[in-house]
Chain A
Amino acid sequence: MDIEMKKILIVDDEPNIVMSLEYTFKKQGYEVFIARDGSEALEILESNIPDVIILDVMMPKVDGYQTIKVIKENEKLADTKVVFLSAKNKASDIQQGLNLGADKYILKPFSLKKLVSEVSELLG
């Protein structure tokens, strides 16, 4: 059993969604960080290296696509998995997300249970 808790960063501008995710992942034993948009997320990432980042695509200021680009350039975050959460369900959107280096692309609305199992699967 791991001694250290898994760290998860949740990035989304919808407070109610964040609240549900925070509650769920905390219950699963994750250490949860929260950011309301890309710029807040990058701020957090300067001092923390999470195991997984749950990233919304459509956000004001710095959106999900811009955020993942910065993440992917950061070598310290090389092992960090990224999961996109998005309502954009076109094939082209999904492809673009994966091309940018996301490990998973999960469509909103999603099932919390499924999200949790996908994330834990990613972390092996």
Chain B
Amino acid sequence: MNSISLFIIIILYLAILFLIAFLAEKKATTKWVNNPYIYTLSLAVYCSAWTYYGSIGVAATSGISFLAIYLGPVIAAPFWILILRKIIRISKQHKISSIADFVSLRYGNNRFLGALITVICVLGTVPYISLQLKAISETFEIMTHGETISNTKFFGDYTIYIALLIAVFATFFGTQKTDASEKHKGIVASVAFESLIKLVFFLVVGVYVTYFLFGGTEDIYTQFSTTKNFQEITTFSGFESSFDWFFTILLSFFAIFLLPRQFQVSVVENNREKHLKKAIWLFPLYLLLFNLFVIFIAWGGMITFGNGDNSEYFTLLLPLKEGQFFLASLVFIGGFSAVISMIVVSTLALSTMVSNNLVIPYGFLDKFSRSKNDKNALYIKGIRRVSIFVVILASYYFYYYFSIPLSLYSIGLVSFVIISQLAPSFFLGLFWNRGSSKGAIFGIIIGFLVTLYTLVVPVSISAFTGSDFFVSKGLFGVELLKPYELFGLDFLSPHAHATFWSLTLNLLTYSIVSLSGKGNYRERNYAEMFIDTRNYSKLGDNALVWKGEAYVSDIKNVLIKFLGTARTERALNLFFRKYNLPPDTQMADARLINFSEKLLTGSIGSASSKILIANVVKEEEISLVEVLQILNESKEALASNKILNEKTNQLTKLTAELQSTNQELVFQYKQKDEFLDTVAHELKTPLTSIKASTEILKDDLEEMPEELRTQFIGNIEQEVDRLARLVNHILDIEKLENNRAKLVLEKQNLLETMNKVSTNLSKMAFDKHVEIIIDSKKPVYALYDEDRIIQVLTNLVSNAIKFSDKKSGKILLSYTTRKNEIHVFVEDNGKGIPSHDKNHIFDKFYQSENQNTLKPSGSGLGLAICRQIIQKHGGEIWVEKSNEQGSIFVFSLPFN
């Protein structure tokens, strides 16, 4: 294939990516761009050319150890819910735009730390990008010449042009906004697309090699097992090898969090926390698919070519050997996708760090504070654009001069070891509040120096001079200082050895330095915030402790310089409304300081924003103890506020309950009062009669006619009876109403009970010429208190007798059985009850219009007692019918 047509293919593919990114920016708010699948695919930026080409090289020469680099992320995935979610939450809250910003904010907006991390990231990433360029260059050569030829002229290689095109793409979509914490949806969408392309094309070539060139996996295995390398590659070389595995897994575990491009896609570009839930199983699945055919392609290549030279490019060489140019082009595009996505995201992340954590805080702050908003925005974007080009050119330079003799895999591992130096301060900083900025700085520097000594320097020396004196004899010929066997540790591979020593010394330094000093108050403040995210996100802008004097107008001026007047006004209005402050507030408080710093962080980084705000305010010294105390107080205030709210709610509820109970009591009291009134009245009435009658008898006993005298004495007797009855009834109903009367429930024959009542009242009936007839024949049994039911029936029947006409009176007692109850009827042929009384006659002391005729023989409580008794049995009592022909009283008794 000639190089011009391949270059055109590359240009066309870049145009497609441009279009995708452009459309994604346009539809930035739709579901197409904001879903967990795009998020997961963008995480797959992890799989760079190293994966795409490099792992086959490892598989061909050292067997399945290529897998270790993917096991780290797979192991890390479940931790995302715990760790990554916390990181995302903090980053969103503080508008963090890079890992350097994240770590420097954790250690109190430490400017030097942010810059140091930026440098580490650049040093770790530049070789990594150069590795990508190397892959492009070499695959380009393979595609056009069938083999790799090293170029000698700096601009004679197409790679430089491709690298510049990628830089244009990254610049165009990566620096549209000054606020770097805002999302780059175009870039993310194109990365997701590329992740899909690289996976699909890699699988295509895997299937091609396994099933078309060979007769399936078994065939490859059988053929390969006859080659001389088989034994060496497929056996696990015990103890040492397992350490290598462990350290490679550890490195890749750290890398998935710490690589600038991973932080960019997983944290900065995350727009919904819940996308993580899908990613934790989808991303490992992606990695698994990616590695499905690696080993078979590697073996297939070994069988076909007989040796492991150029084994990294078996995916291209195998199809090309068979004349499959189209398939090879697909593989090339897949690899190219892996390269672009890695470079674009890495340079984007690095340019943000370089501008926000290195250039701006160290060089441009003065300039910014004198300049205007639109100019500042241009400066910031300008710095980032230049950074992107500088990083890519630096990578090309590195590639051109250094990486040609090195393998993809070894460059990748060097990058990983360098980046992993951030691990102690990053991870421990999330959970350990004593970790200090000094500890972080010294730890990272020591770790990095150890890495240089044990890995970068010896690798470079042997690659360029070919001499292994340094490696075999050590520095100054000191045995203990042999770079691959430091202090006599001689059984680890170089990168595992470097990882072990650098991380161990890094961790020790970090811990010891952190423990030996107290740290300044601000870093302790942020430490608390990072560690206890849940609590502090509730505190909002109150989470920052700050004391001093500041004017809103000064801060406003600073904000305007970066956000412009309109955005500043809007932001401040929102702030004042949120905290219920008047819009013309003069003095700024801690909340406004915190809020303003956050506003600036996205544009110029946390360290710079702290410095800028600090320039216009007069901050008072504050002790660490004081900070912790204030923080605790606000936390407690928040907690006690919650408790107070709960208590208030409880009290309101209790008050409501009390009120209703009180109302009920008042009502009951009133009823009792009324009841007592009525009782008193009812008692006084017979007393009045008795007193009057006795007075008359006393005065006129002699002269009064015999007949009259008998009548007055009769009156007295009658009224005394009435009094006695009244007292009994009052006591009875009081007992029934207050549940002090116990029913003696026994199985009784209702017919027999009716007979007893009839017998008891026979004399009274006889006297009034009334006939009592029991109209049911069959005995029926039910559970009831017989004395009480007799009381009810007696009351009803005697009422009927009293109201019946003399001589022709008839009272019918009967019952019917229903499904669950018996209905008992007492029917008379008296003059009936007025219809409007029907509903009230069971009330206590109800005065019927016809009651005159009963006086003075009634108590006014008889029917009320009947109702109580029946209700206590679980039944009801009512008047079924009442007119001039008579009345029917009914009560029900449940069988149980």
Q: Which residue of A lies closest to B719 (CB)?
A: A16
Q: Which residue of B lies closest to A63 (CB)?
A: B847
* Interface segment, one of B515-523, B758-766, B851-859, B885-893: B851-859
Q: Indicate the member of B684, B700, B849 with the most A CB atoms within 10 Å.
A: B684
B interface residue count range (under 10 / 10 to 19 / 20 to 34 / 35 or more): 20 to 34
Q: Residue A16 contacts which of B677, B680, B715, B851 (CB distance < 8 angstroms)?
A: B715
Distance of B617 from chain A, by nearest CB (Å) = 74
Interface membership of B696, Cβ < 8 A: yes
Interface membership of A79, Cβ < 8 A: no
Given the known A-B contacts A14-B685, A16-B718, A87-B685, are A111 and B693 also in contact in the complex, defined by CB atoms under 8 Å?
no
Q: Residue B855 contacts which of A15, A20, A61, A112 (CB distance < 8 angstroms)?
A: A15
Interface membership of B532, Cβ < 8 A: no
Q: Residue A23 contacts which of B685, B691, B708 (CB distance < 8 angstroms)?
A: B708
* A16-B721 Cα distance, complex, nearest whole Å: 13
* A27-B700 Cα distance, complex, nearest whole Å: 10
Residues of A within 8 A of B217 (CB): none
- CB of A17 within 8 A of CB of B692, answer yes
* A103-B448 Cα distance, complex, nearest whole Å: 115
- CB of A58 within 8 A of CB of B852, answer no
Q: Residue B849 contacts which of A14, A21, A61 (CB distance < 8 angstroms)?
A: A61
CB interface residues, B 58-79, toward A, < 8 Å: none
- CB of B696 within 8 A of CB of A20, answer yes
Given the known A-B contacts A87-B681, A87-B684, A109-B687, are A13 and B852 also in contact in the complex, defined by CB atoms under 8 Å?
yes
- 1/0 contact string of A97-120 vs chain B (CB within 8 Å): 000000000001111110000000
Interface membership of A36, Cβ < 8 A: yes
- CB of A110 within 8 A of CB of B688, answer yes
Q: Residue A60 contacts which of B677, B687, B689, B849 (CB distance < 8 angstroms)?
A: B849
Residues of A within 8 A of B851 (CB): 13, 60
CB interface residues, B 690-714, toward A, < 8 Å: 690-693, 695-696, 700, 708, 711-712
Residues of A within 8 A of B855 (CB): 13-15
- CB of A109 within 8 A of CB of B691, answer yes
- 1/0 contact string of B237-257 vs chain A (CB within 8 Å): 000000000000000000000
Distance of B684 from chain A, by nearest CB (Å) = 4
Interface membership of A19, Cβ < 8 A: yes
- CB of B684 within 8 A of CB of A60, answer no
Q: Indicate the member of B677, B692, B708, B719 with the most A CB atoms within 10 Å.
A: B692
Q: Which residue of B lies closest to A15 (CB)?
A: B855
Interface membership of A80, Cβ < 8 A: no
Interface membership of B848, Cβ < 8 A: yes
- CB of B852 within 8 A of CB of A20, answer no
* A14-B712 Cα distance, complex, nearest whole Å: 14
- CB of A24 within 8 A of CB of B696, answer yes
- CB of B852 within 8 A of CB of A19, answer no
- A interface secondary structure, majority: loop
- CB of B856 within 8 A of CB of A16, answer yes
* A68-B700 Cα distance, complex, nearest whole Å: 33
- CB of A17 within 8 A of CB of B852, answer no
CB interface residues, A 1-59, toward B, < 8 Å: 13-17, 19-21, 23-24, 27, 36-37, 58
Q: Which residue of A lies closest to B684 (CB)?
A: A87
Q: Indicate the member of B689, B848, B851 with the most A CB atoms within 10 Å.
A: B689
CB interface residues, B 816-860, toward A, < 8 Å: 847-852, 855-856
* A21-B692 Cα distance, complex, nearest whole Å: 8
* A27-B688 Cα distance, complex, nearest whole Å: 19
* A19-B852 Cα distance, complex, nearest whole Å: 14
Given the known A-B contacts A16-B856, A109-B688, A110-B688, are A58 and B681 also in contact in the complex, defined by CB atoms under 8 Å?
yes
- CB of A17 within 8 A of CB of B696, answer no
* A111-B692 Cα distance, complex, nearest whole Å: 7
20 other A-B residue contacts (CB within 8 Å) besides A27-B700, A58-B847? A13-B852, A14-B689, A16-B689, A16-B715, A16-B719, A19-B711, A20-B692, A20-B695, A20-B696, A20-B715, A23-B708, A24-B696, A58-B681, A87-B680, A87-B688, A88-B681, A90-B677, A108-B684, A109-B684, A112-B692
Query: 23 A-B residue contacts at CB 8 Å?
Result: A13-B851, A14-B689, A16-B689, A16-B715, A17-B685, A17-B688, A19-B715, A20-B689, A20-B692, A21-B692, A23-B696, A36-B852, A37-B852, A58-B681, A58-B847, A60-B850, A87-B684, A87-B688, A88-B681, A108-B685, A109-B691, A110-B691, A111-B695
B positions within 8 Å CB-CB of A: 677, 680-681, 684-685, 687-693, 695-696, 700, 708, 711-712, 715, 718-719, 847-852, 855-856
